């Protein structure tokens, strides 16, 4: 009888981490981003933290320009999305030969200037790490932000880890320092 109870509890716990179905308060597949700047931006995400550079194998975001672009004064609900819900992505573990586990605890969001990306090309952007903004977000950060980001960063975002630091841009996206 105890084995049945233990197995039942394990099944219930495992089921609670699955993200099948529509978005709810506990399962998010998208992170909307609002562009307050006066120019178009492109956004992309990476799970390579603590390596915060644009890697040689990162995809060319210009190839999916329509889905990664956020025009001025608009919101893109599709650019930052996961096949599994983000809560499940944060819960995954990477197993090494030594059976140690590493939790994915930080999601990196890159923001690129459309002119730089489209005029100078993806290779230039990677080689020079030409980003406007990088957000390093944990699950708790996303929850505190209501699963909603802005560029330039809003006052609500000033406590999250980012580069360049909060206050680098004015409200129209122009660099002030």
Rounded CA separation 44/134 (Å): 10
Residue 31 has pLDDT above 80, yes or no: yes
Region of residue 167 (phi > 0: left; psi between -120 and 50: alpha; otherwise: beta) = left
53 or 88, which is more confident:
53
Residue 131 has pLDDT above 90, yes or no: yes
Rounded CA separation 54/16 (Å): 34
Residue 176 has pLDDT above 60, yes or no: yes
pTM over 0.85: no
Residue 99 has pLDDT above 50, yes or no: no
Task: Identify the top-confidence range among 10-19, 41-50, 63-72, 102-111.
Answer: 41-50
CA angle, corner 110, sides to 105 and 113, nearest 5? 170
């Amino acid at each position: 009888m105890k084995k049945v109870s233990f197995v039942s509890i394990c099944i219930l716990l495992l089921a609670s981490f699955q993200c099948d179905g529509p978005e709810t308060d506990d399962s998010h597949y998208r992170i909307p981003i609002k562009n307050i700047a006066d120019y178009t931006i492109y956004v992309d995400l990476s799970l390579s933290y603590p390596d915060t550079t644009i890697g040689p194998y990162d995809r060319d975001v210009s190839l999916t320009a329509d889905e990664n672009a956020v025009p001025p004064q608009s919101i893109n609900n599709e650019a930052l999305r996961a096949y599994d819900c983000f809560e499940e992505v944060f819960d995954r573990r990477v197993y090494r030969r030594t059976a140690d586990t590493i939790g994915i605890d930080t999601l990196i969001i890159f923001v690129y200037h459309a002119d730089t990306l489209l005029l100078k090309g993806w290779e230039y952007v990677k080689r020079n790490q030409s980003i406007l903004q990088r957000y390093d977000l944990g699950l708790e950060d996303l929850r505190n932000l209501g699963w909603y980001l802005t560029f330039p960063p809003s006052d609500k975002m000033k406590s999250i880890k980012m580069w360049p630091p909060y206050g680098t841009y004015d409200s129209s996206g122009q660099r002030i320092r």
